Amino acid sequence: MSNFLHTFQQAGVAIRQLADGSAFKRHVEVDTPLSDEFKALIESDVKPLLAPLEAFRLEKLATKTRNKKWALRLGWILWLPALIWDLLYLASGDLHISVLFVAAGLAIWVIYPEMQYRKHYKQMLMPVLVKAFGDFRYDEKGCIDIDGVQTLDTMPSFSRKSHEDYISGKVEDIEFEFCELKLERKGHKSSTTVFRGGAVVLKLPFQLSGHTVVGMDYGKLGNMFAASMARRKVALENPEFEKRFEVSSTDQQYARYLLSPAMMERLLALDTLFRARAKGSGLSCEFKGDQVLLMISYFGDLLDTADLNVSAYDLDKLPLLEQELAMITGLIKQLKLDYLAARNQAVDRYSSSL
């Protein structure tokens, strides 16, 4: 039921973004200059990589231009028979769309070099760039430990997954994993996307009490249908937070300990940030055992600033990349979970010393 409500809610946000035009913006404009630390990293580690990257870009640009030329000149040899074939079928009363498949095939052939360049750009630069933010590792095709969080309620059931941009690391004793994730579930006739966005798994150095879920608000009726039998609703004091989220927990008091007034403000700020930066459409998080799972839904594509038509030496997009990386790697600090961990570790040590 909650999957259906989630899909319904996402459709609503998508329509709103189409209506206000934000869905058509590829990237958010960033006026903030690069930080000194990032500039130094570019000078020392990034610039030496730019020459081979630029050579690769020129090669792929030439391939794309050549493919486009041939697609325009000789594409008709493929699409014209397909069109005639479809029209003949249409005349006999059947609907065939082979011309669309031919067009799609030609389009992929043309843009494939661009996709290769984007992938190569990420593979070369990202492992270097993430190091500016601390002890982080980047893997273009990696994925969070889905098996470890599969049993959590916020993780929807799915039959197919695709993932990219895996970043992992450690911040103040908290293990961090992030990846962009798309989860689909097969239906009778077609597949439904049950999640698209960023998934973050945090492994805390202490045990959380109870089981607390901060889910999206689906309205009174929707929340009633999505409610869990095991957890009770936690009514919180922040009206804006209550408007955007629905909280339930097995431990009312501990849920309020986790969701202090300041934490509620931080989660609201995080939600707002992703809505503004990545066409975000809401977030949910779950606290259980020693894990925190954050599922941030968004329609945008983070960490994808490479442009085949722009020289690799042109570093105009790096401020955006820096901000997106800072946004992802700064999640623990943004939510001040490092303080929470430090306090709880001190409590554990104090208890064992008694």
List of residues contacting other proteins (CB under 8 A): 235, 237, 252-254, 256-257, 260, 342-344, 346-347, 349-350
Contacts (Cβ under 8 Å, ≥6 apart) of 1: 225, 226
Query: What angle (nearest 5°) sits at the alpha carbon of residue 192, between those of residues 191 and 193?
Result: 125
Minimum CB distance to other proteins smaller for 257 or for 299: 257
Q: Least distance (Å) from other proteins to the CB of residue 115?
A: 48
Minimum CB distance to other proteins smaller for 159 or for 260: 260
Q: Least distance (Å) from other proteins to the CB of residue 257?
A: 4
Q: Least distance (Å) from other proteins to the CB of residue 153?
A: 22
Q: Least distance (Å) from other proteins to the CB of residue 191?
A: 42
Minimum CB distance to other proteins smaller for 102 or for 174: 174
Minimum CB distance to other proteins smaller for 256 or for 275: 256
Look at the chain and count its residues.
354
> In this structure, are residues 248 and 232 in contact, taking their beta carbons and an 8 Å threshold?
yes
> In this structure, are residues 198 and 273 in contact, taking their beta carbons and an 8 Å threshold?
no
Minimum CB distance to other proteins smaller for 76 or for 339: 339
Q: Least distance (Å) from other proteins to the CB of residue 346?
A: 4
Locate tokens 């498949």: which residue? 101
Q: Least distance (Å) from other proteins to the CB of residue 344?
A: 7
Contacts (Cβ under 8 Å, ≥6 apart) of 129: 38, 41, 46, 138, 321, 322, 325
Where would I find the H helices in 245-317?
252-258, 261-278
**From CA 26, how far away is CA 106, in angstroms rounded?**
23
Minimum CB distance to other proteins smaller for 26 or for 220: 220
Q: Least distance (Å) from other proteins to the CB of residue 242?
A: 12
Minimum CB distance to other proteins smaller for 190 or for 352: 352
Q: How many CB atoms lie within 10 A of CB 186?
A: 11
**From CA 258, how far away is CA 241, in angstroms rounded?**
14
**From CA 318, how far away is CA 93, in angstroms rounded?**
55
